Chains A and B, each alone.
Chain A
Amino acid sequence: MEYPTTVEDAVALLAKHGDRAMFLAGGTDLLPNMKHGLFEPEVVIGLGAIEDMKGIRKDKDGSLHIGAMTSLTEVARSQLITEAAPALAQAASVVAGPQIRNMGTLGGNVMLDTRCQWYNQSHFWRKSLGYCLKKDGTVCHVIEGGKKCVAAASNDTAPALMTLAAELHFLSPSGEVALPIEELWKADGTWNKNVGPDALLVSVHLPALSGPHGGAYLKLRERNAIDFPQLGIAARLGFAEDGSIFEAAVAATALGPRPILLQSTTKLLAGTTPGESNFEEALLELCAKAHKQLSPLANIPGDETYRKRMVPIFLKRALVLAAQP
């Protein structure tokens, strides 16, 4: 266990230990996964002592800077975030339960490992099935005989951040990288990120938005607490002075390996006004489009046919919430 106090030291420590080491943010996912034998680090680099990675501030240009080690509780409650990025506050507020949100961090949630009913199990359990593609095995059980890992991105905050066009600041041994969140993901469940495990997510930036806008995050889950999403949909609407929509963004999580930002939402919704029939019509069209494009896989618990059926329902409800002043 290492406790660096600067981001530079943290990255250097990880580079030193290589594959044998992992970062520990809140530990709410890392530790259960270690107990299940999914992660087997010999060295754990705790990030809790790095003060620079904590806290939320508004920069001069109106953008928000959120330290990756800021707790989900703080993200959910911060006035800066509830005002400027309601979908993110809502998403953070429905991760797991209160105790886990106190420990869990925004950075940890963004960098969360993908989840699968055939993967997030004990060593005995996985061994009984001859393991799976993501860990120790050669086949995927989601699609029988599958050769590609389709474990699900299960982070609630990801779609909210995508609708907010967040920028992620990483530090890796090769230097600083700023990456639009949309470019973080790739469709590979074994490691669904376009940065390596040696890159440390230092902070999340939310660009200032012009004009009034609304946002919402809705989460499909069996229980009203604890559970990971079976589907998560975030929506953001930007309004012109006349109350009509001038931009719109929709993203979803808990489908396949990556969260997905729905394309051409602005094209469909721009110029429509909530409360008027043009909005209702555009909404229906968008929901139908989303239903076609967003397909949950049988990776996590919960019937995938049902999860797919909920895509347009949750999207419609999220947009209606986002449209409320």
Chain B
Amino acid sequence: MAARDLHGPDAPWGDFGVVGQRNRKVDGMDKATGCAIYADDIQLPGMLYAKTLRSPHAHALIRSIDTAKAEALPGVYAVLVGDELPIPYGVIPWTQDEHVLAVEKVRFIGDEVAAVAAVDEDTANAALELIEVEYKPLRAFFDAEEALSNPEPAIHTSKKDVGNLSKHVRLEFGEVDAAAQSADILIDEEYSFHSTTHAAIEPHCAVAQCSPDGKLTLWSSTQITHYVHRALSRVLELEPEKIRVIQPYLGGAFGGKSDPFSLEFIVSALARKTGRPVKLLWTREEVFYAHRGRHAMKMKYRTSAQADGRITSVDANILIDGGSYSSFGLVTTYYSGQLLTGPYDFPSYRFDSTRVFTNKPPCGPKRGHGSVQPRFAFESQLDEVATKLGIDPIEIRRKNFQGDFTKTVNAQRITSNGFLACLDSVERGSDWKNKHGQLPLGRGLGVAGSMYISGTNYPVYPNEMPQAGIQLQVDRSGIVTVFTGANDIGQGSNTMIATVVAEELGLDIRNIRVISADTDLCPVDLGAYSSRITFMVGNACIDAARKLRTQIVGAVASEWDVDARRVSMMGGKVFDLEDSQRVIPSRDAFQIAEAQLETLGATGSYNTPTLGGDYRGGTIGASPAYSFTAHVADVSVDTETGRITCNKVWIAHDCGRALNPMLVEGQMEGSAYMGVAEALMEDHHMNRFGLHAGPSLLDYRIPTSCDTPELESIIVESIDPEGPYGAKEAGEGPLHPAIPAIANAVYDAVGIRLRHLPFTPGKVLEALDAKC
């Protein structure tokens, strides 16, 4: 059992030397100069290119597949069909309902049916045209309500007893109905969240190579190397020790690369079949079909409150459109309810969430997994409560603040909580007191708050092993190399790791090398999801570095014949605290230690404490620490065109401690940008045929620099007792309030409540018409 070390939030050597500095990313220059090697940059001798045939039907049985003509095409090396890889997979072990290539049926337009490996992409595409598939179309469902009320035809026949239900969760804490009945005010409204996707700039890509002795190496643009490793082993029926998974540099993920994906199995199987390396790069269009983006949700919220603004109950009913596969859907369904219980105190709370299969691209985790949609609904509703009661929207949020070191209504442990400071910061920054409710018609301010997890204590497959592992290696040159399974997906986790290890060992950050996300070289880490890396891997780094530091300090103290407490490490030097003349470079100290002891190295790990409520699902959403955020958005609404312009967003985020403020601000800005985009532009929309309406970056509109509001990041540091130096997450939390803050600002600007996303100009005009 790995130790859960409580390292304390303090600097290891008195003052922080590296933590808190605005150091550029350790891989920044590589990326800026084009030296970084991404999956698609990999070229291997004799490499083949794969492409997949996709279903033109939204729901159909496969009668037959004839690949003879494709196989006969010159330049084609192999064709692969679903029957060759019949073992199903899926990231959650209880809902493995995906196949590498369709077996018996297809479930959405774009579902993959066959794959070809050929000398080049053009030949592979030509071969796909020669594959003959006979389908028997079935009734397709594009609407969650319709799919739920029609158990037949079931999209997943193995779930016949439940029709098209994917997951249902109903949890109640306290007496919701009684509290609602005795409340002074009750707001009951419906909200909807459309679907959005990640739109990472790098499309998914995988390259596989088999060695003559049967060892498989896979390079993949994944954010969870470890789960891919496990899934490959199962589906390919290949011992895990024969598989190496490497994540090269990665061009953005946002949750869209956290499932094991078909292309990873396809290139592996084709490499085994042909004996040649095989690459598969998805087109932008294919990335839209792979999706795993944000679930569309229809939400009913009923919030009751006392006349003084105190919430007495929250009741939520949520219908989740899951698309065609489970993906992380089990967790999504829980998260849609479990993650709403802060930063406010809910005396009673109930949620009833239902995820349904439909014949659309599968939904999954996108930045702020499962909780961005409910957060939009609730924060909009809370604003309405405030308006109806004549309470300032920031004041009502202060009034309901849950406090720090407390427990939520659903029994989640809250440690540090800087939400009040977040509210103060955005109130001050936006000049709220002089502007809210006082700007001319067409201009307004809106506020919203949120919380998010810093990792979850629930690995997707239950086990007792550490959730994060670190290995350190010391070189006589003065370099320390860190080996980590953690995936740097652009969020800067390798920089965070270098920061922590440099801090602990008193080294210049440039003397830390980080080797990450290679299953042959690195200790297991569960990967880049649920905002877990800073908290968990950061703690594992401290754990490992302190063991190493003890060795080095001990050796130097012995060499100098002084008490070890007199030996300090900072700025690349080791010195005697009581004799300023005695200073040696860290390199010398490493050599002293290596001579005295042995080859230097250390391991470290992290595991969460036992957390969560004592009920079924009580551990889902349980995190060792929660981040908190508040936004104020400043919008203009053109009452003639209905167009909303978001002028500025003030983002205050409690990240515990900013290990690198520049990177934290980057995450805050990126999150807010993404939230604004989802509110005003992005729409993962299927047309009446169930086909993605515009699977391109022309038609799926992400904001350009001309459309991006000014973003002001204000870091709040609550110093969490269990985080590495007090740090918590910053990558996902700061997205949540952007959407309701805009909705609430629109109300302040023109007096309309927008409850249905996205906030198109047409909807604004409709609401303005209705108001008149």
Q: Does B20 contact A (CB under 8 A)?
A: no
- Of the listed residues A128, A225, A226, A305, the one surrounded by the most CB atoms of chain B closer than 10 A to its CB is A128
Q: Is the CB of B694 within 8 A of A301?
A: yes
Which residue on A lies nearest to B56, using beta carbons?
A128
Residue of A nearest to B285 (CB): A122
A44 CB–B CB distance under 8 Å = no
- Bin the interface of chain B by size: 20 to 34
Select the stretch in B64-72, B493-501, B697-705 that faces chain A: B697-705
Chain A contacts of B681 at CB under 8 A? 222-223
> Which residue of chain A is the closest to B704 with respect to CB atoms?
A225
The 0/1 profile, CB within 8 Å of A marked 1, for residues 83-112 of chain B is 000000000000000000000000001000
Whether A224 pairs with B704 at a CB distance below 8 angstroms is yes
Determine whether B765 belongs to the interface, using a CB cutoff of 8 Å to chain A.
Answer: yes
0/1 interface trace, chain B 679-722, chain A, CB 8 Å (1 if under): 00100000101011111001101011111000000000000000
Task: Please name all residues of chain B whose beta carbon is closer than 8 Å to the beta carbon of A129 when the two chains form the complex.
Answer: 689, 691
The smallest beta-carbon distance between A202 and chain B, in angstroms, is 30
User: Is B640 interfacial (CB 8 A cutoff)?
Assistant: yes
Q: Is A313 located at the chain interface by the 8 A CB criterion?
A: yes
What are the residues of chain B within 8 A of A289 when measuring CB–CB? Answer: none
Decide: B693 and A226 in contact? CB cutoff 8 A. no
Q: How far apart sit A97 and B681, CA to CA, in the bound complex (Å)?
A: 18
Residue in A117, A224, A313 whose beta carbon sits within 8 Å of that of B641 in the complex: A313
Interface residues in B53-79 (C-beta closer than 8 Å to A):
54, 56-57
Assess whether A103 is interfacial by the CB under 8 Å rule: no
Tell whether, in the assembled complex, residue B765 and residue A309 are in contact, meaning their CB atoms are under 8 Å apart.
yes
Chain A 206-234 against B: per-residue CB contact (8 Å), 1 yes, 0 no? 00000000000000101111110000000
Interface members, chain B 626-665 (any A CB < 8 Å): 640-642
Given that A117-B693, A122-B285, A306-B761 are known contacts, is A313 also in contact with B640, CB under 8 Å in the complex?
A: yes
A205 to B394, CA, bound (A): 61
Known: A124-B285, A128-B689, A129-B691. A223 touches B703 (CB 8 A): yes
Bound form: Cα–Cα A226–B760 in Å: 18
A16 contacts the other chain (CB 8 A): no
Which of A124, A222, A225, A310 lies in contact with B54, CB distance below 8 A?
A124
Q: Which of A117, A127, A222 has the most CB of B within 10 A?
A: A222
Residues of A within 8 A of B705 (CB): 225
Complex: A306 Cα to B692 Cα, angstroms? 22
Q: Say yes or no: is B609 at the interface (Cβ < 8 Å to chain A).
A: no
Q: Report the separation of the CA atoms of residues A122 and B642 in the bound assembly, to the nearest whole angstrom.
A: 32
Question: Does residue B28 face the partner (Cβ distance < 8 Å to A)?
Answer: no
Q: Which of A125, A129, A310 has the most CB of B within 10 A?
A: A125
How far, in Å, is B284 (CB) from chain A's closest CB? 10
Using CB atoms, name the residue of chain B closest to A317: B640
Using Cβ atoms and an 8 Å threshold, which residues of chain B touch A227?
698, 701
A 128-169 to B, binary, CB cutoff 8 A, 1 in contact else 0: 110000000000000000000000000000000000000000
Contact B704 A223 (CB under 8 A): yes
Check if A303 is an interface residue, CB within 8 A of chain B: yes
Main secondary structure of the interface of B (DSSP, over half): loop
* Given A122-B285, A301-B693, A313-B641: A224 and B706 interface contact (C-beta under 8 Å): yes
Using C-beta atoms within 8 Å of the partner chain, give the interface range for chain A: 20 to 34
CB-CB nearest in chain B for A300: B699
Q: How far is the CB of B496 from chain A (nearest CB, A)?
A: 34
Chain B residues within an 8 Å CB radius of A97: 704
- Total A-B contacts with CB atoms under 8 angstroms apart: 60
- Among A114-129, those with CB < 8 Å from B are 117, 121-122, 124-125, 127-129
Residue numbers in A under 8 Å from B174 (CB-CB) = none
Q: A85-122: which residues lie under 8 A (CB-CB) from chain B? A: 97, 117, 121-122
Nearest CB of A to B7, in Å? 47
**In whole angstroms, how far apart are the Cα atoms of A122 and B288 in the complex?**
13
C-alpha spacing A50/B703, complex, angstroms: 37
Residues of A within 8 A of B695 (CB): 121-122, 125
Specify which chain A residues have a CB less than 8 angstroms from the CB of B285 in the assembled complex: 122, 124-125
Chain A residues contacting B54 (CB-CB under 8 Å) are 124
Chain B: minimal CB distance from A229 (Å): 13
Task: Give the chain A neighbours of B440 by CB distance below 8 A.
Answer: none
How far apart sit A128 and B693, CA to CA, in the bound complex (Å)? Answer: 12
Query: For the complex, what is the distance from the CA of A303 to the CA of B760, rounded to whole Å?
Result: 10
> Which residues of chain A have C-beta atoms less than 8 A from B689's C-beta?
128-129
Task: Collect the chain B residues with CB atoms within 8 Å of residue A301's CB.
Answer: 693-694, 699
C-alpha gap A127/B56 in the complex (Å): 7
| B762 proximal to A (CB < 8 A) | yes
Report the Cα distance A63→B681, complex, angstroms: 43
Q: In the bound complex, do residue B704 and residue A226 qualify as a contact, i.e. CB atoms below 8 Å apart?
A: yes
Q: How far is the CA of A129 from the CA of B693 in the complex (A)?
A: 12
- Please measure, in the bound complex, the distance between the C-alpha atom of A220 and the C-alpha atom of B692, giving whole angstroms: 23
Interface pair A225/B706, CB less than 8 Å apart: yes
A247 to chain B, nearest CB (A): 27
- On chain A, the residues within 8 Å of B706 by CB distance are 223-225
Q: In the bound complex, how far is the Cα of B250 from the Cα of A171, in angstroms?
A: 51
CB distance from A38 to the nearest CB of B (A): 13
A226's partner among B687, B698, B762 (CB-CB below 8 A) is B698
Most buried by A among B283, B640, B692, B760: B640
Contact indicator B762/A306 (Cβ below 8 Å)? yes
**Are A223's CB and B693's CB within 8 A?**
no
Instruction: Give the chain B neighbours of A122 by CB distance below 8 A.
Output: 283, 285, 695
A124, A226, A303: most-surrounded residue (chain B CB, <10 A) = A124
Residue numbers in A under 8 Å from B687 (CB-CB): 117
Within A255-295, which residues are at the interface with B (CB < 8 Å)?
Answer: none
A293-323 near B? 1/0 per residue, CB < 8 Å: 0000000010101100110010000000000
Q: How far is the CA of A129 from the CA of B686 in the complex (A)?
A: 13
Distance between A322 CB and nearest chain B CB, rounded to angstroms: 18
CB distance from B96 to the nearest CB of A (A): 27
| CB neighbours of B693 from chain A (8 A) | 117, 301
Write out the residue numbers on chain A whose beta carbons fall within 8 Å of the beta carbon of B704: 97, 223-226
Residues of chain A lying within 8 A (CB to CB) of residue B283:
122
- Using a CB-CB cutoff of 8 Å, which residues 67-100 of chain A contact chain B? 97
A7 CA to B765 CA, complexed, in Å: 51
Q: Given the known A-B contacts A223-B706, A313-B641, are A128 and B109 also in contact in the complex, defined by CB atoms under 8 Å?
A: yes
Q: Report whether B691 and A222 are in contact in the complex, using a CB–CB cutoff of 8 Å.
A: no
The docked-state distance in angstroms from the alpha carbon of A81 to that of B689 is: 46
Chain A contacts of B762 at CB under 8 A?
303, 305-306
Q: Is the CB–CB distance between A306 and B707 below 8 Å?
A: no
Q: Closest chain A residue to B698 by CB distance?
A: A226
Which residues in B have their C-beta under 8 angstroms from that of A220? 641
Which residues of the partner chain A approach B707 to less than 8 Å between Cβ atoms?
223-225
Contact of B701 among A117, A125, A222, A306 (CB under 8 A): A222
Residues of chain B within 8 A (CB-CB) of A223 are 681, 701, 703-704, 706-707
- Measured CA separation A306–B460 after assembly (Å): 46
Residues on B with beta carbons closer than 8 Å to the beta carbon of A128: 56-57, 109, 689, 691
When distances are taken between beta carbons in the complex, the residues of chain B under 8 Å from A303 are 760, 762
Proximity bits, A166-194, B CB within 8 Å = 1, else 0: 00000000000000000000000000000
Give the nearest-CB partner of B286 in chain A: A124
Taking A128-B691, A223-B703, A301-B694 as known contacts, 7 extra A-B pairs with beta carbons closer than 8 A to each other, sorted by chain A number, are A117-B687, A117-B693, A117-B699, A124-B56, A223-B706, A225-B704, A303-B760
**For the complex of A and B, 10 pairs with smallest distance between CB atoms:** A224-B706, A128-B56, A306-B762, A225-B704, A225-B706, A313-B640, A303-B762, A223-B707, A222-B701, A224-B707
Q: Mind listing 8 A-B residue pairs with CB under 8 Å?
A: A97-B704, A122-B285, A122-B695, A125-B695, A129-B689, A222-B701, A227-B698, A305-B762
Which B residues fall within an 8 A CB radius of A? Answer: 54, 56-57, 109, 283, 285, 640-642, 681, 687, 689, 691-695, 698-699, 701, 703-707, 760-762, 765
